Amino acid sequence: MQVRLSKGRNLSYNSSSFQGILIRYGVPASQQVRLEVSFDYEGHLAPVQEVRSMTLKSENRLMHGIAVAILTEDREQSVVLNTRIESTHMTRTVLSHLGFPIGPSDAVLRQILDQRAEVVLVDIDPKNPSRAIRAIEMIHSAAGDVTIFAVGELTQPTNIVSAMRAGAREFLDRASNREAMIEAFTRFTASLSRAQRSAGKARVFTFLNAKGGVGATTTAVNTAVALEQAHGRVVLVDFAPIGHASLQLNLRPQFTVVDALQNLHRMDVSLLEGLMTHYRSGLHLLAGAQQPQNAVPTATELARLFDLLVSQYNFVVVDCSGRVDATMQMICDLSNAVLMVAQTDVVSLWSAARVQAFLQEGAGRERLRIVLNRYKKIPGFTDEDVEKATNCKVLWKIPNNYQVIGPAIDKGSPVALQDGHEVARSYQGLAAELAAATSAADGALSLVYQHDKSDTAKRPGRLIVSPMRAGQ
């Protein structure tokens, strides 16, 4: 078999070695595949440009991305659109059809549904736009869940208005470059993420630290373990600059979140599963980087990764300890709740106020709550004092019990799995409250606090979250 390299070099693979690659991604050995593929300069699997003969079922696709169907009456335009959308590395073409449906029972409408297209690109001929506009109406009527992108001339405002009225969500210029396509698909991905979270398919909880050493990773790990025990499938994603979550679980990961971000252009459910490290309780870990990294993920890459995660799990717990940067800000924007772990000392509370101010620019500020770790009741020092110092509401209090927590960390055995300890019950209680909280329209959790009970009459139907009553 010949594999063409992007720099013009040829490399030969025998059929048995390529067959091994296919089996890893779920393709049975009995299926015969002859496929020309290309590798980019860094050696990652690049989008396939030419398929000579392929007998794969639809569920065995090698690549995950937004499923796109293309409808046009122009053969050359079909090639141009295919090339352009594949260059985004966010999509995969599941259908490319010359011509438009002529009626509600047209076979192409059934193909769009059968191929599970998420976006349909409809090319509008500037000289004869009526057939394309009619096709948009029929697709919108027959497949209401499918998003339609119209492609036409921006110099024809009548066609733009007609396409949007017919059911198109986006109108792209026929001369759109790769960046314009990426922006359109990014908007689609963001809207899909919000819809998935508001529909309750998954919840994302992100843990931050007010300063180093306050126990954010420990809190994230134990909350994730407690959620997995009682509330559904959980993945713990370690986005710390150097990941420590695997140490607290006594795991030795082979792959990290860096591998996931570098392979998003070919990510599917099977590959994602292969990147996970499994903990004995059933928890999945997407481990953190083992060495400091210079690469910074883009908003598109993070949105794509989280889209896949929320589709496979009930809860996504993110450890962002050690970060105060754009990556942390973007992850907070993708989260249902942002939990900043702090202690009741001056430095910790001072730092918490600065982190809260840093998040003011994004949606994460509305979802930010304080978790007080190693809590001891201080006479004359109240929750209101903490909130005044940090400009953030207190959600939970975890009691101080380092005699239990310290050995549990050293042994890689989370205390949340150890019955009989007050601190274990606290983690379990935090997990239960997060799992039971109701969602607002924007995906944020509606959380009210014990000392806010007097205000609940003004906000009917919201969940009362009681902080852990350590020493109370």
Give the CATH number, domain containing residue 80: 3.40.50.2300
Closest CA to 316 of 188, 430, 207, 465: 207
Cα→Cα distances 361→364, 378, 457, 472, Å: 8, 33, 31, 36
Q: What does each of the 472 residues of the chain score in pLDDT, given as a tens digit? A: 333 333 333 333 333 333 333 333 334 444 434 333 333 333 333 333 333 222 223 333 334 578 999 999 999 999 999 999 888 888 889 999 999 998 888 899 989 988 889 999 999 999 999 999 999 999 988 887 799 999 999 888 889 989 988 999 899 999 888 888 888 888 888 776 655 555 446 799 999 999 999 999 999 999 999 999 888 899 999 999 999 999 999 999 999 999 999 988 888 888 899 999 999 888 999 999 988 888 888 888 888 899 889 988 999 999 999 998 889 988 998 898 999 999 999 999 999 999 999 987 655 567 899 999 998 888 888 889 999 999 999 999 999 988 899 999 999 999 998 888 899 999 999 999 998 887 665 556 655 544 443 343 333 333 333 333 333 3
Are residues 296 and 253 both part of a single domain?
yes
Helix (H) / strand (E) element for 79: namely helix 75-86
Are residues 279 and 157 both part of a single domain?
no
- Say what the pTM is: 0.56
Give the CATH number, domain containing residue 454: 3.40.50.300
Instruction: Give the C-alpha separation, 18 to 42, whole Å.
Output: 19
Domain edge (last residue) among 180, 199, 218: 199
Are residues 444 and 338 both part of a single domain?
yes
Are residues 57 and 150 both part of a single domain?
no
Are residues 337 and 399 both part of a single domain?
yes
Are residues 188 and 205 both part of a single domain?
no
Cα→Cα distances 446→133, 345, 365, 366, 434, Å: 42, 28, 14, 10, 10
Q: Is 139 exposed, middle or buried (0-12, 13-18, 19+ CB in 10 A)?
A: buried
Does 318 fall in a domain? yes
Instruction: Give the C-alpha separation, 355 to 347, whole Å.
Output: 12
Looking at residue 445, what DSSP letter applies?
A: B
Instruction: Give the C-alpha separation, 434 to 207, whole Å.
Output: 13
Locate the DSSP E strands across 77-125: 91-98, 119-123
Are residues 44 and 122 both part of a single domain?
no
Which two structure tokens, joined as six digits, stand for 344? 């009741």
264: containing domain: 201-465
**Cβ(132)–Cβ(100) below 8 Å:** yes
Q: Is 47 exposed, middle or buried (0-12, 13-18, 19+ CB in 10 A)?
A: buried
Are residues 373 and 413 both part of a single domain?
yes
Does 470 fall in a domain? no
Does 351 fall in a domain? yes
Count of domains for the chain: 3
Phi, psi of 366 (to 5 degrees): -75, -15
Are residues 406 and 443 both part of a single domain?
yes
Helix (H) / strand (E) element for 304: namely helix 299-312
Domain edge (last residue) among 199, 217, 233: 199
Are residues 322 and 215 both part of a single domain?
yes
Are residues 38 and 76 both part of a single domain?
no
| Paired sense of beta strands 368-375 and 394-399, if any | parallel
Does 52 fall in a domain? yes
Does 471 fall in a domain? no
Are residues 77 and 2 both part of a single domain?
no
